[in-house]
Amino acid sequence: MKSFFSLIILSIVFFALSLATKAQFAEDLSIAFEPASPRPGQTVTAKAILTASSPAQASFQWFLNDKNVTDASGKGKNSFTFTLGPASRTTVEVVVTTAGGTRLEATKAITPGQAVITWWTDTSVPVWFQGKALASTGSTVTLYAIPAPGFGESPSNLLYSWAVNLEPRPEVSGVGRNRFTLKVSLVENVIHQVNVKISNVSQTIKQEATILLPTRAPELIVYQLLPTGGVDFSKALSLFGGNSGETYDVIAEPFFFRPDQLPRLKYVWRVNDKVIEGDFTDPDILTLKTAPGGASQNAVQVNATGLAPNLQEASWFFTANFQ
């Protein structure tokens, strides 16, 4: 009886070891690209990687964008080479039949590296604002070209050819000139198309990038000032409600004004079309006071105006109701 139970235990152990061995050597298939971040027009090698079988004994069937690549398929053909086109995405699929008859499939997409243009401007935003400053009329924008991988050399050794609205800008182009400064239009809603062509000096490798850069008017937005001194920037004031007899402070925040305008902005507040006079310590802040016990509805407007030449201005309107 002991021998019988010992035999059962040994069988269970061997069975578990067998499962562990199969799990350890379970077949897996993946695809690797070389280079991993190619440029359009570059030659790419796709390689099928088997974890537990010999590629020489396996049969491979390759597909490029769902089309069977018959010349690259066959026994032992675990890689094939293709030229990356200008499309944003190329898909490679391989179907493998191992010597043991196991059928495996793998799919992988590759995206060609693309040059990009990034930019920043010197216009104003409040200190609490998390977004990007935008280009307003007459502001200065710095543009920076970032080549995609594939050149194999430093960006400072590449040739950059800039154009604005299809007009070449040779004065800001040249070797290593991957950034330049553009002063945008003084007219609102003008769109500047900025293009850069990047190449090595021998012109054997080329990339290109384009952005559209709109010119907008500056903005003035009113928010409530909290009793603690902070700004309730969670919502802009369009319809404000409060209790009569209490005092409320609001602040006008300028967005996207040029640096030459911001320190000299002149604020004019109007309540029910009447200019609020007074010696404002902070001209961007208005204190709303109401008599107790009476309801009132008030139209509030603020204008901010810079100085000539090329002044910028903006305004904001909201309604204040007190009960």
- Long-range Cβ pairs for the range 29-35 (8 Å, 24+): 29/94, 29/96, 29/104, 29/105, 29/106, 30/106, 30/108, 31/92, 31/94, 31/106, 31/107, 31/108, 33/92, 33/108, 33/110, 35/149, 35/150
- The arithmetic mean of pLDDT across residues 34-52, rounded, is 86
Domain end call among 198, 214, 230: 214
Please give the model's pTM, rounded to 2 decimal places: 0.68
pLDDT score of 21: 39
CA atoms of 41 and 208, how far apart (whole Å): 13
pLDDT score of 88: 64
59 strand-pairing partners: 75, 97
For the chain, how many helices (H) and strands (E)? 1, 24
pLDDT score of 44: 93
Q: Which domain holds residue 138?
A: 116-214
Note the pLDDT tens digit of each residue in 273-292.
999 876 667 899 999 887 78
14 falls within a domain: no
Domain end call among 110, 137, 169: 110
Co-location of 229 and 290 in the same domain: yes
Residue pair 207/39 in contact (Cβ under 8 Å)? The answer is yes
- The count of domains in the chain is 3
pLDDT at 248 over 50: yes
Domain end call among 176, 192, 214: 214
Co-location of 149 and 195 in the same domain: yes
pLDDT score of 35: 86
CA atoms of 241 and 296, how far apart (whole Å): 10
CATH of the domain at 290: 2.60.40.10
pLDDT band at 77 (very low <50, low <70, confident <90, very high): very high
Co-location of 122 and 88 in the same domain: no
Co-location of 204 and 286 in the same domain: no
Co-location of 132 and 210 in the same domain: yes
> Helix, strand, coil proportions of the chain in percent (round to 5)?
10, 45, 40
